[in-house]
Amino acid sequence: MTDATQKLTHEVEKQMLDKNLFMICRRLNPNALSTLSTGYHIRNCREDELDIWKDMPFDDPEDAEKYRGYMSNYFSRVYAKKGRLFYERCIFVCDDQDRPIATAFIWKAYDAFNTIHWLKVVKGQEGRGVGRALLSVIMKALKAKDYPVYLHTQPDSYRAIKLYADFGFELLSDPIIGSRKNDIEACLPILEKYMTHIAFKKLTCTKAPKYFLRKLEEKQDNEF
């Protein structure tokens, strides 16, 4: 890859990261569920692994270092005030040497509604069904009363968006979600470009529940 091409690629990635998308799942599609392959197991994040968790969203070690302060602040603002609840909720998928290779968990944002936080499979472990199996674990643990479930994402996570859609998530179409602009109109062409034709055509849009929007209007901090 030439320097010019690499610069353009980074600029495109930055533009994608600067855009917000929101999704809702009103009921689970059981046909999307799967199980972990042999050699992987699931356990909770331990206190001595917090730095591992903070670095997992970033494929590049330099990015992990760059955003360590952001991740630390996010942890302090959203999770630390709940005591040990983070460690009771935060799940790792580990390999046969007990090394964390994926993470995700359900978090009740603002003590009001369930959200999916920080779904990530580390580079090198993608494409092996780990993300689907992990999402299956956390979604199956929910009861009917725990729905709907929400999440925030960006268009560069188009593979994850396809996975979410398989499980029953729909894109929210409201222009504003709390304090953030919902960039769905700008993101749909991006998703159409990078997703397969079949996956893109399966995406559906819906309006957010009014109580959800009202609750977010009261909040300045983002908890999902």
CB 172 within 8 A of CB 184: yes
Residue 12 lies in a domain: no
Q: Encoding tokens for residue 157?
A: 């996570």
CATH of the domain at 128: 3.40.630.30
Using 50, 70 and 90 to split pLDDT, how confident is the model at 10?
very low
Position 198 in a domain: yes
Measured CA to CA, the distance from residue 205 to residue 184 in angstroms comes to 9
- For 107-139, write each residue's pLDDT tens digit: 999 999 999 999 999 999 999 999 999 999 999
For residue 179, being part of any structural domain is answered with yes
Does this model's pTM top 0.95? My answer is no
Per-residue pLDDT tens over the stretch 80-105: 999 999 999 999 999 999 999 999 99
pLDDT per residue over 11-45, tens digit each?
455 556 689 999 999 999 999 999 999 999 999 99
Predicted confidence (pLDDT) at residue 4 exceeds the cutoff of 50: no
**Would you say residue 212 lies in a domain?**
yes
CB 149 within 8 A of CB 137: no
Q: Which domain holds residue 207?
A: 20-217
In the β-sheet with 41-44, what is the strand arrangement from edge to edge? Answer: 41-44, 91-94, 100-109, 113-121, 149-153, 21-25, 169-172, 205-206
Q: Are 106 and 115 in contact (CB under 8 A)?
A: yes
Whether residue 156 is contained in a domain is answered as yes
- Assigned domain for 14 exists: no
What per-residue confidence (pLDDT) applies to 158? Answer: 97
**3-class SS letters over 26-44:** CCCCHHHCCCCCCCCEEEE
Count of domains for the chain: 1
Report if residue 194 sits inside a domain: yes
In a domain, 64, yes or no: yes
217: helix, strand or coil: helix
